[in-house]
Every structure is written in structure tokens, then in C-alpha cells.
Amino acid sequence: MKVIVPVKRVIDYNVKVRVKADQSGVDLANVKMSMNPFDEISVEEAIRLKEKGKATEVIAVSIGPQQASETIRTALAMGADRGILVKTDGEVEPLAVAKILKAICEAEKPELVITGKQAIDDDSNQTGQMLAALLGWPQATFAHKLEMGDGKADIEREIDGGLQTVEVKLPAVMTTDLRLNEPRYASLPNIMKAKKKPIDEKTPADYGVDVTPRLKTLKVTEPPKRQAGIKVKTAKELVDKLKEVGAI
């Protein structure tokens, strides 16, 4: 069974985001970039499937600029077998990403695609679901636990108010939530080995997909700032203040 794991190169989650003065977007110049944290969880889950003998090959796919090959290398160092880089500069919307992934799935015929539930830059939370719909496959979003069966998978999902288990027929798309696993760090020997693993380079045109954004971003601004209020001295004073303003 092949598993495909899409990985996105995004601003590192530890970096404080700054909005550009001309409101055209967020400043990405000289900012540390890393693999989207949810995608690391996806890669980890795919590798565990391989270690358990359930998966035969793990393919990491990234759609982005040349530097996204570094993100693929990270996945290869963690244990993925090979990579596909679909090179394009500029922003690619989830629908276009899903269309490219659909074409890759049709060529590679995986049984499972594992995506992060969202990327921490645009916070769209769409790609996995869109891919599943375009392929006519079932999905299990926000996965908390995966159990592979014969031609099917039972997946526990994080939902509002608790957990839900769904059974999906394979092939299927799963999107990962935070508590699915803890991604490993790549060891130095594996980082060295990853340098020899193959990465295919493609373009969106190879898959016949137009990646021109459909949504027009008119501006990007800072969220309204909250002002710090006052300090109170005691719990009694806090209760009194809250009572005074009608909050309790």
C-alpha cells in the first residue's frame, strides 16, 4: 500500500508574524520557514504505518517554490521514501492544491493520503476534504487515532464535545490533528541518507492545473489590539469589580 503525504513549507510556528506596512501581506523576508506542524504529524503517521508493515512506500509531495524541496528533504529524513516537488511561486489556494494532488493520486494510486488538518499560514482547513471530494473518496478529518483494517480504516476523530469514530473504505483521505502522534526528529545518519533519496520535479502545467488564485486578497491588516486594563490587589476587589461592571 502506498501512502501519499502532502507537506507545506510555512513560516515557522515560533516566529512572531508581522504584517507589512503596505497591507499587501505578511513579511516573509528573512523569516525562518519550516514544515507545517500538522504535516509533520502526517509524515510521522505514514512512517509508522510503514514500520508496522502496513505501508510499502511513503511519498512526500510539496507544492511551492524551489525551497519547498527542503521541506520534502525533512520528510525524507524522517523516513519517507521519495518526493515529488510541484514547483510554483506565489500563493496556491487549497482548491488548486487539491487538483494537483488528485492528478498525482491518479498516477500513483495510493490507498491513503494523509494531510495536516490545516496549514498554519492561511488556516484554511480545506485541502484534504477537497481532495477527497474530487476523487470521490471518503475522508476522516481531525484524526486522533488510526486503525488500519482490511480494505478499510477505523479513524477516531476530534470533534466539538468529544471524539467520534468513523469507518472509511480505502482508498481514503485522512487529515491529522495534534494528538495523533508525536513526530520524531530525524537522526543525522537519516539526514545524510535522505540526500540520496529521489525527488521528482514537476510543474502545475504537467498536471493541467491552473493555480491562479480565485480569491482576491484586498488587504492584510493587524487585528485590533486590546489594551491592558487595571491591576487589582485582592480576590475580593476582583469580584467587586466584576460585579460593578455587570460581568457576573
| Positions in 211-230 near other proteins (CB under 8 A) | 214-223, 226, 228-230
Using CB atoms within 10 Å of the CB of residue 131, give its burial: 0 to 12 exposed, 13 to 18 middle, 19+ buried: buried
- 146 counts as binding other proteins under rule CB under 8 A: no
Which residue's CB is nearer to other proteins, number 11 or number 112?
A: 11
DSSP 3-state of 187: coil
Q: Which of residues 148-187 bind other proteins (CB under 8 A)?
A: 154, 157-169, 172, 178-179
Q: Which of 82, 125, 191, 197 binds other proteins (CB under 8 A)?
A: 125
Cis upstream peptide for 189 (omega within 30°): no
Count residues near other proteins (CB under 8 A): 78
Residue 4 CB, nearest approach to other proteins (Å):
17
Nearest distance in Å: CB 163, other proteins: 5
Q: Smallest distance from the beta carbon of 85 to other proteins, in angstroms?
A: 23
Residue number, 136 or 189, with CB nearest to other proteins: 136
Spell out a b/e string for 146-185, using b for 16 or more CB atoms within 10 Å of the CB, else e.
bebeeeebebbbbeeeeeeeeebebbbbbbbbeebbebee
Distance from C-alpha of 125 to C-alpha of 84, rounded to nearest angstrom:
22
Question: What is the smallest separation between the CB atom of 167 and other proteins, expressed in angstroms?
Answer: 5
Query: How far, in Å, CA of 29 to CA of 10, rounded?
Result: 12
**Window 88 to 117, contacts with other proteins (CB under 8 A):** 93-95, 98
